[in-house]
Amino acid sequence: MNITHRIAAAAVTVAAAAALSGCATEVVGEAVPAPPTTEAPVGPLPAAPDAPREFDEIGAQAFVDTVREEGIPFGSEADLLALGRIACPHLVGHPPSIVDAIATFENAGYATDDAGFMAGAATVMCSWEQGGDI
């Protein structure tokens, strides 16, 4: 199963979980980003307010699997899961660019000096919007 099929399967699973839980399946308008924080998050980041934990964890795992398959280096498993939890609520309405994806991570309180890792993670996040290979 290639990466396109795996991402598509993960997106379908997440969309089904969202539909079953009553989550919105469309994004309307522009999201207003939260102001950036100066402190690193402690522990796992919370799911989006309308996303059940199952939605969050399925998406986070799909994100982790995709980053690993693409060979994008990452600092630690905890870093990767944290970014997956941030990316997951955007599976339906992704930011339009890698710059916006990185801003999404930073606005959620995740910061790192590893620009290559952030860009790679943002590339994975944005590729889900396109529904294709990275």
Position 56 in a domain: yes
Residue 20 forms part of a structural domain: yes
Q: In 44-97, which ranges are continuous DSSP H helix?
A: 53-70, 77-87
Question: What total number of domains does the chain contain?
Answer: 1
Residue 29 φ/ψ, nearest 5 degrees: 75, -170
Q: Which two tokens stand for residue 119?
A: 């860009």
Q: Pick 88 or 91 by higher pLDDT.
A: 88
- Structure confidence at residue 70 (pLDDT): 72
Taking only the tens place, the pLDDT of each residue in 44-89 is: 544 444 544 554 566 667 777 777 777 766 666 666 666 666 665 5
Q: Would 36 be classed as within a structural domain? A: no
- Report if residue 73 sits inside a domain: yes
Provide CB contacts within 8 A for 83, sequence distance 6+: 63, 105, 110, 121
Residue 121 within a domain: yes
Domain that holds residue 96: 3-24+43-130
4 contact partners, CB below 8 Å, separation of at least 6 = 131, 132, 133
Domain annotation covers residue 76:
yes
